[in-house]
Structure 1
Amino acid sequence: MEFIAVLLVAVALIIVVTLAKAVRIVPQQRQDVVERLGKYKRTLNPGLNLLVPFVDAVRTKVDMREQVVSFPPQPVITSDNLVVSIDTVLYYKVVDAVRATYEIANFIQAIEQLTVTTLRNVIGSLDLERALTSREEINRHLSGVLDETTGRWGIKVTRVEIKAIEPPASIRDSMEKQMRAERDRRAAILTAEGHKQSQILTAEGDKQSAVLRADGDRQARILQAEGQAKAIRTVFDAIHTANPSQKVLAYQYLQALPQIANGTANKVWIIPTELTKALEGMGGALGGLSRMVGDEPAPEAKHSAGEVEREAAEAAQAAAIAAQQIHDEVRVAEAQATGGKVPQGLPAPEPVSPASLVSDPVDQRERA
């Protein structure tokens, strides 16, 4: 009895093991390569699969999903003999489980070595600056070469990316200095542009203010000149309306000489001594004439009447000559002050003759 029980247990155990060997469940996105007696038989797809127990065996279990592999940094020499360290990351997927199993022993290691070799060939033909700025071109070249080579292994390289390109420490310092100098240059250019714009705006403001100031000064001068012109015209009309005699004009002209001398310009007046003597003589003559008209003539005056008249005539003649000289000097000074242009103003008074100074209408009437 005991022997029969042990035998039944052994048979049941064999049946369980056989069923376990015969039934294979494959998950999604995986394929199993089956060999029968050491030879490839078939590929198991996802789901429930039956095998021949103790005859069929699963060689490899291949993951059909896309895989990511990050390779360690690799030293690469550029065309300008600089050693740079490059980190790469690879994206691939198995498209044929049989080829990936039988065409190559370890496709991960093969892809890594192929990537390093291709990367050194590509970077070796570029200088450092171009290698730093041509990552897209390097990635496309690597993807093309790897995809062409790994296609016969049943592997599809979908993407190759360069994570980092690390130049030597000395090159990094030089690059930092260069970038700092470039930033300083740009800052200096921007500062200069701002200063230029500020100077332009300041100059435009000064220009507009100067134009406005000049326009205001011009308007003020025009108004002042118009006022002076009206004043001169009023005086001129009043003088011509009153129609003064030549003696009044001569007297007014002599009164205007001190005002001319009080100007800001330096003037030199040369007055001859004969003028004072002539004026004294005129005063004496006019005093004698007044005594002749208003009072009784003195006896000595009667005898020297002819002599007094002669002296008065001579004094009047000297005064007229001195006045004419002063008039000429004033004209010369005015011409020099105005730059050779004779000012347009009131007409010059006619010279006073000695006879007009000596002979007065009242005196003439008394003599008659």
Structure 2
Amino acid sequence: MFVFTIFVLFVFFILYKLLLIVPMREVNVIERLGKFRAVLKPGFHFLIPFFDRVAYKHEIREQVLDVPPQSCISKDNTQLEVDGLVYLKVMDGKLASYGIENYRLAAVNLAQTTMRSEIGKLSLSQTFSERDSLNESIVREIDKASDPWGIKVLRYEIKNITPSRKVIHTLEKQMEAERSKRAEITLANAEKAAMINLSVGERQEAINVSEGQKQKRINEAKGTAQEISIIAKAKAEGMELVSTALALDGGHEAMNMQLKEQFIGQVGKILNEAEISVVPAEMAKLEGFFEGMEQVTHAVSSGSAASSPVSKNSVKGGRS
């Protein structure tokens, strides 16, 4: 019974050494008597017991390696603490096994040295503004060096760029000064725009006022001209009517009476409004004055009657 058990265990051991199942996520490197034989891909495989053995197992999925923070000096002599992540994948199991001792550690160290070298080519402001180009440069340099290791560096990402406390304090002052500068520029532009708008408004106001005054003067001139024309026409018609009335019977007496009434009215007005007593110098000669006025009226009416036909003829000639 004991011998049978030993035999069964020996058979299972032989089968365990004979059969090999490689998972989907990895590849196995097989050595025969200490010498490389093959790289077995995922699946079911047979081995020669006691001759073949699995020497290395490699993850074929994309791997993420953390690059520890390290001190770097930028082009403008600024000290920075930089860390990142490197993404790689095993492309050749044989080179990953025999090309280098530990490709993970080598990739991390290479990423650190390459990152220091690339940051040394950039100024402090460029390290913040040109992260994408910096990542691409680091990936390109690491990929060249890691090609003999059978791995492929897919990408590199900088996580944090931390300047020293003194540099941070200086940057804060610089940003504050820049904000103050932008605020002053904005205020100056606003004042400039306000002054421009104010001057444009004053200019337009002056133009509108001048146009209004110009139109006012034009309207006043037109009104004055029309007024003069109407008054002249009315006077001419009035003179014509007076001349016609004087030519009729009793016209002279009516004119004389009208003049007397106007004279008496004006004298009464002067006596009422004057602050001192006003008395005509020759009250006894008022009758002679009115008789003289009658003679003057008669002379004026005679002259108007004589000149009226001539005036009418001249007016008709002018109209024709």
Common fold by TM > 0.5: yes
Which residue does the alignment assign to 1:125? 121
CA contact (8 A) 2:67 2:111 kept: no
What CA deviation, in whole Å up to 9, does each residue of 1:305-340 have, x standing for no partner? xxxxxxxxxxxxxxxxxxxxxxxxxxxxxxxxxxxx
Q: Name the CA distance, whole Å, in 1 between partners of 2:189 and 2:220.
A: 46
- 1:82: Cα distance to partner? 1.6
CA contact (8 A) 2:66 2:108 kept: no
The amino acid of 1:13's aligned partner reads: L
- Tell me the SS of whatever aligns to 2:64: strand
1:50-61 equivalences under 5 Å are 50-61=46-57
The amino acid of 1:218's aligned partner reads: K
Q: 1:137 aligns with which of 133, 137, 142?
A: 133
Q: 2:76 aligns with which of 75, 80, 101?
A: 80
Percent identity at matched positions? 35
Q: 1:223 aligns with which of 206, 210, 219?
A: 219
1:96 pairs with 2:111: no
The amino acid of 2:134's aligned partner reads: I
Which residue does the alignment assign to 2:182? 186
- 1:72: Cα distance to partner? 0.9
Which residue does the alignment assign to 2:107? 111
The amino acid of 2:27's aligned partner reads: Q
- Judged with a 3 Å threshold, the aligned counterparts in structure 2 of structure 1 residues 290 and 15 are, in CA distance, closer, same or farther, namely closer
- Judged with a 3 Å threshold, the aligned counterparts in structure 2 of structure 1 residues 238 and 66 are, in CA distance, closer, same or farther, namely closer
- 1:237: Cα distance to partner? 4.9
Which residue does the alignment assign to 1:161? 157
- Judged with a 3 Å threshold, the aligned counterparts in structure 2 of structure 1 residues 119 and 283 are, in CA distance, closer, same or farther, namely same
The amino acid of 1:25's aligned partner reads: I
Higher relative contact order (CA 8 A, sep 6+): 2
The amino acid of 1:34's aligned partner reads: I
Q: 1:13 aligns with which of 9, 12, 25?
A: 9
Q: 2:22 aligns with which of 6, 14, 26?
A: 26
- 1:127: Cα distance to partner? 2.3
1:242 pairs with 2:239: yes
Q: Name the CA distance, whole Å, in 1 between partners of 2:128 and 2:288.
A: 126
1:211-360 equivalences under 5 Å are 211-237=207-233, 242=239, 283=281
- Tell me the SS of whatever aligns to 1:126: coil
Which residue does the alignment assign to 1:312? none
Structure 2: segments with no counterpart, 5+ residues: 243-258, 267-278, 298-320
Q: Name the CA distance, whole Å, in 2 between partners of 1:291 and 1:136.
A: 125
Which residue does the alignment assign to 1:42? 38
Q: Name the CA distance, whole Å, in 2 between partners of 1:109 and 1:215.
A: 88
- Judged with a 3 Å threshold, the aligned counterparts in structure 2 of structure 1 residues 238 and 46 are, in CA distance, closer, same or farther, namely closer
Q: Name the CA distance, whole Å, in 1 between partners of 2:153 and 2:17.
A: 35
Provide the TM-score with structure 2 as the length reference. 0.70
Structure 1: segments with no counterpart, 5+ residues: 256-279, 295-356, 363-368
**Please, what is the CA RMSD of the aligned residues?**
3.7
Q: Name the CA distance, whole Å, in 2 between partners of 1:211 and 1:116.
A: 74
- 1:206: Cα distance to partner? 4.2
Q: Which is higher, the Rg of structure 1 or of structure 2?
A: 1
Which residue does the alignment assign to 2:64? 68
- Judged with a 3 Å threshold, the aligned counterparts in structure 2 of structure 1 residues 237 and 292 are, in CA distance, closer, same or farther, namely closer
- 1:177: Cα distance to partner? 2.7
What CA deviation, in whole Å up to 9, does each residue of 1:271-326 have, x standing for no partner? xxxxxxxxx9x955x956967999xxxxxxxxxxxxxxxxxxxxxxxxxxxxxxxx
Aligned residue pairs, count: 266
What CA deviation, in whole Å up to 9, does each residue of 1:188-246 have, x standing for no partner? 433443444444444444444443344334333333333333334444455566399xx
